[in-house]
Amino acid sequence: MNDSRAAIRYAKAILDLAVENKATDALEKDMRVVVQTISESKELRDILTSPIIKGEAKKKAVLSVFKDSHHITEGLMNLLVDNRRIDMLNEVALKYIILNEKLKGEDVAYVTTAVPLTKALEKKVLKQLGEITGNKVTLKNTVDESIIGGFVLRVGDLQYDASIANKLSNIKREFTNSL
The domain locations on the chain are: 3-101, 106-178
Instruction: Express each pLDDT in 79-99 by its tens digit.
Output: 999 999 999 999 999 999 988
pLDDT band at 132 (very low <50, low <70, confident <90, very high): confident
State how far the alpha carbon of 22 is from the alpha carbons of 11, 18, 132, in Å.
Answer: 16, 6, 30
For 1-6, what is the mean pLDDT? 72
Query: CA-to-CA distance for 118 and 120, rounded, in angstroms?
Result: 5
Question: Mean pLDDT across the chain, nearest whole number?
Answer: 89
| pLDDT over 80 at 43, yes or no | yes
Listed as own residue / partner, the contacts of 42-47 with beta carbons closer than 8 Å and 24 or more positions apart are: 45/90
CATH code: domain 3-101 is: 1.10.520.20
Query: CA-to-CA distance for 61 and 30, rounded, in angstroms?
Result: 16
pLDDT band at 140 (very low <50, low <70, confident <90, very high): confident
Which pLDDT value is given to residue 4? 80
Which pLDDT value is given to residue 107? 79
For 52-64, what is the mean pLDDT? 90
Percentage above 70 pLDDT, the chain = 98
Lowest-pLDDT choice from 26-40, 133-147, 163-177 = 133-147
Complete edge-to-edge strand list for the sheet that includes strand 151-155: 136-143, 106-113, 151-155, 158-161
Percentage above 90 pLDDT, the chain = 56
Query: CA-to-CA distance for 34 and 39, rounded, in angstroms?
Result: 8
Which pLDDT value is given to residue 2? 58
The answer to whether the predicted template modeling score (pTM) of the entire model surpasses 0.85 is: no
Which pLDDT value is given to residue 18? 93
| pLDDT over 50 at 1, yes or no | no
